Amino acid sequence: MVDRQDDAGGETTVRVELANRSYDIIIGEGLLSGAGPYLASVLARPRVVVVSDETVAALHLAPLQAALNEAGIQNDAIIVPAGEGSKNFAQLQLLLDQLLELRVERRDSILALGGGVVGDLAGFAAAILRRGIDFIQLPTTLLAQVDSSVGGKTAINAAQGKNLIGAFYQPRLVLADVTALSSLPERELRAGYGEVVKYGLIDDFAFFQWLEENAGQILAGAPGALRHAVAVCCRAKAAIVGRDERESGDRALLNLGHTFAHALEAEAGYDGRVLHGEAVSVGLGMAFTLSTHLGLCPSQETERVLRHLSAVGLPTGVAQIGLSGLTVDVMLNHMRQDKKVTDGRLTFVLARGIGQAFITNDVAEGAVREMLQAALEPASAAKG
Catalytic residues: 131, 153, 195, 237, 247, 251, 255, 258, 262, 276
Residue of 188, 193, 349, 371 whose CA lies nearest to 262 = 349
Considering beta carbons, is residue 36 or 119 the nearer one to ligand GLY?
Answer: 119
263 binds ligand GLY (CB under 6 A): no
Nearest distance in Å: CB 318, ligand GLY: 22
Nearest distance in Å: CB 253, ligand GLY: 8
276 binds ligand GLY (CB under 6 A): no
Considering beta carbons, is residue 151 or 161 the nearer one to ligand GLY?
Answer: 151
Considering beta carbons, is residue 151 or 192 the nearer one to ligand GLY?
Answer: 151
Nearest distance in Å: CB 236, ligand GLY: 11
Stretch that binds ligand GLY, among 248-256, 283-291, 300-308, 361-369 (CB under 6 A): 248-256
Stretch that binds ligand GLY, among 13-21, 109-117, 222-230, 249-257 (CB under 6 A): 249-257
Nearest distance in Å: CB 244, ligand GLY: 9
Binding track over 168-207 against ligand GLY, x by CB under 6 A: ----------------------------------------
254 binds ligand GLY (CB under 6 A): yes
Considering beta carbons, is residue 99 or 142 the nearer one to ligand GLY?
Answer: 142
Nearest distance in Å: CB 252, ligand GLY: 8
Nearest distance in Å: CB 287, ligand GLY: 14
Residues 98-157 that bind ligand GLY (CB under 6 A): 147, 151, 153
Burial 45-70 (b: 16+ CB within 10 A, else e): ebbbbbbbbebbbeebbebbbebbee
Number of residues counted as binding ligand GLY (CB under 6 A): 6
Nearest distance in Å: CB 117, ligand GLY: 14
Give the chain as a 3 state SS string: CCEEEECCCCEEEEEECCHHHCEEEEEECCCCCCCHHHHHCCCCCCEEEEEEEHHHHHHHHHHHHHHHHHCCCEEEEEEECCCHHHCCHHHHHHHHHHHHHCCCCCCCEEEEEECHHHHHHHHHHHHHHHHCCEEEEEECCHHHHHHHCCCCEEEEEECCEEEEEEEECCCCEEEEEHHHHHHCCHHHHHHHHHHHHHHHHHHCHHHHHHHHHHHHHHHCCCHHHHHHHHHHHHHHHHHHHHHCCCCCCHHHHHHCCHHHHHHHHHHHCCCCCCCHHHHHHHHHHHHHHHHHHCCCCCHHHHHHHHHHHHHCCCCCCCHHHCCCCCCHHHHHHHHCCCCCCECCECCEEEECCCCCEEEECCCCHHHHHHHHHHHHCHHHHHHC
Which member of 251, 262, 276, 308 binds ligand GLY (CB under 6 A)?
A: 251
Count of beta carbons in the 10 Å neighbourhood of residue 159? 10
84 binds ligand GLY (CB under 6 A): no
Residue nearest to ligand GLY (CB): 254
Stretch that binds ligand GLY, among 169-177, 225-233, 250-258, 348-356 (CB under 6 A): 250-258
Site residues, ligand GLY (CB under 6 A): 147, 151, 153, 251, 254-255
